[in-house]
Structure 1
Amino acid sequence: MGTTHLEPVQEPKYWHLKTVLNEALDSEFAVGEVLPNERELAARFGVARATLRQALEQLELEGRLQRRRGVGTTVAPPRMGVSIGPAQGSWPGAAGDAWRTVGCVEAPAPAAVARLLGEDPDSAADAGTLVHTVRRVRMMHGQAVATELLYVPRTSVPGLPETLSPATHPRAVLRELNRLDLESEDRAVELGSARAEDAKQLERLPGAPVLVVTTRYVAAGRVVAVAVATYRADTCRLTFGDTGSMEITHHDGAEQRQAS
């Protein structure tokens, strides 16, 4: 077999500028410091403002920069570990769970969730199969680092009262879920786009890149609940410890912690 010579690929100008800017951030700017405006930066590096914007957007996506309304573009602080959801082997809402509930509704499960629950989406829609959808949020130092939708079918929590107030509904669902014997759980992680409501909670624009962590909870030989958690992709990173647990890291002033 002959040797194949690959044609050299020229690096895009904005990508090279991103590398130069990255080095400047390390050597010339402190955490939280506001960068000069686009006009000044473009003049300094001798590039068009469109090229500069591409480089800045890439650095923001990689978590090196933060853009804040009324402040400007600042150097992002170091990352700090935030473990994904509840500890392995425990239900959402168990003791030590760092999430807090912000509401709960009863509605048909989305088609993708119905499939994860082992139901046929078309049949479930026709039958009007309802699930309790608990919305939760995880706060850290006053900022939302993730949002979650926890889907619990009626059949998984048959002990719920027929009538529940908005205040007691989510707590009652979590309480009944924790009465079950958890057999196993599995998680999947993928890159997604922020939906309008999640984007609002995370202070991002709709369609912004996010990390989506989907967890299925199994009891009595079947999937009894599905959680879909959304994390900001520009400030979060996944790490895997020796035990197989995962950790989300989020920008904050504290030092980074390792997964356990």
Structure 2
Amino acid sequence: MNPRVNGIGGMSRKSPRYLDVASKIQDEIDILGPNALLPMEKQFGHRFGVSRVTVRTALDLLERSGSVTRYRGRGTVVSPPKIMRRFSPLYSFERDMTEQGIAFETRVLGFKPEITPPENIRINLILPADSVVGAISLVRVVNYQIVSYERRHYPPKIAARIDPALLEHQDASTVVSKIGGGPIDEVEWVSEIIASSKEVAAALEVAQRTLVFANTYTWRLKGGAPVESGTISYRIDRCRFKHEARFNQPNI
């Protein structure tokens, strides 16, 4: 039997060249610091004895993993480390970054005081059919890179009083709590990895249908009144996620 052929389906045991090249480039990345400029594709090709197509495929793989960022007209640079987003216990983005000592920026992209909400948002906010909600869209920026896109929805009484500009300088949960008349007491959320929509992709500056980590959430005041519901979409090439919980096992 040919030693390079796997017995299952006749597949070669030898990994594709672009994976070998990606591994070698990753070794260089591990030595270099963030924002270091990498050699051009042609230079890598000469060094490793492969075509530019193979190098480009390797760099595409490294870009999807978050190791590098490619800029038109500038080249390929080493990406900053991924941020750690903590979910247990649940922290607001603002508090999470502040406690970790990570500088960030919030950019409000738009505010619509009255829109027809998606059906799941209407249900989460316990609103009757044909209701309208307020909607704010914003992005979070760390190390000059967009890491998440948020689409926040508010029931009419909250939407009528919220000032979108405050979200660029204050914790969103604090802003909503003041308007709602009490602290956020309960949070419900569902996490999933999904293909980005056209809207999400444009905000995150990725190709449409790029996979993102999406959290659909609802904030409630003490007593159960919902004051906000929305979806936060994270770039998985720029974020990691940490969950902590006590293991609950029945006595044996």
- For the aligned pair, the TM-score class normalised by the smaller chain equals 0.5 to 0.7
In the alignment, does 2:114 pair up with 1:113?
A: no
- Asked if residue 104 in structure 1 is aligned to residue 106 in structure 2, the reply is no
1:127-138 to 2 correspondences below 5 Å:
127=130, 129-138=131-140
Residue-by-residue CA offset, 1:14-60 (whole Å, 9 max, x unaligned): 22332232223335x44322222112212322223222222111111
Q: 1:238-253 alignment to 2 at 5 Å?
A: 238-241=241-244
- Tell me, in whole angstroms, the C-alpha distance in 2 between the residues paired with 1:169 and 1:63: 28
Cα deviation for residue 108 of structure 1 reads: 0.6
Amino acid at match of 1:79: K
Letter matched to residue 104 of structure 1: F
Find out whether 1:45 has 2:13 as its counterpart. Answer: no
Structure 1 residue 242: deviation in Å?
A: 5.6
Q: Distance in 2 between matches of 1:221 and 1:67?
A: 46
Shift of 1:243: 7.4
Contiguous gaps of at least 5 residues in structure 1: 245-260
Against the structure 1 CA distance between its residues 208 and 55, is the aligned structure 2 distance closer, same or farther, given a 3 Å change threshold?
same
Shift of 1:73: 0.2
Other-structure match for 1:78 = 81
Equivalent in the alignment of 1:251: none
Pair 140,174 (structure 1): closer, same or farther in 2 beyond 3 Å = same
Give the residue type in structure 1 aligned to 2:75.
G
Aligned partner of 1:189 in structure 2 is 191
Q: 1:211 Cα shift?
A: 2.2
Partner of 2:211: 209
Larger RCO (CA within 8 A; separation ≥ 6): 1
Q: SS at the partner of 2:151?
A: strand
Unpaired runs of 5+ in structure 2? Answer: 1-5, 248-252
Matched, 1:69 2:69: no
The one-letter amino acid paired with 1:56 is: L
| Counterpart AA for 1:216 | T
1:232 is matched with 235
2:80/2:143 contact within 8 Å kept: no
Displacement of 1:149 in angstroms is 1.2
Q: Distance in 1 between matches of 2:61 and 2:93?
A: 37
CA distance in 1, matches of 2:212, 2:77: 21
2:20 is aligned with 1:22: no
Where 2:184 maps in the other structure, the secondary structure is coil
Offset at 1:185?
Answer: 0.9
The letter for the 2-side match of 1:38 is E
Q: Is the CA contact (8 Å cut-off) linking 1:133 and 1:151 kept in structure 2?
A: yes
Q: How many residues align?
A: 226
Contact 1:61/1:235 (8 A) holds in 2: no
Is contact 2:136-2:164 (8 Å) kept? no
Backbone CA RMSD of aligned residues: 4.2
1:171-186 alignment, distance < 5 Å:
174=176, 177-180=179-182, 182-186=184-188
The worse-fitting range, judged by mean Cα deviation, of 221-230 and 191-200 is: 191-200
Aligned counterparts of 2:92 and 2:26: Cα–Cα separation in 1: 41
Contact persistence 2:83–2:240 (CA under 8 A): no
Which residue of the partner structure matches residue 7 of structure 1?
8
Quote the offset at 1:191 in angstroms: 2.3
Q: Tell me if the contact between 1:209 and 1:234 (Cα under 8 Å) persists in the aligned partners.
A: no
Deviates more, 1:40-49 or 1:64-73: 40-49
Equivalent runs, 1:153-168 vs 2, <5 Å = 153-154=155-156, 157=158, 160=160
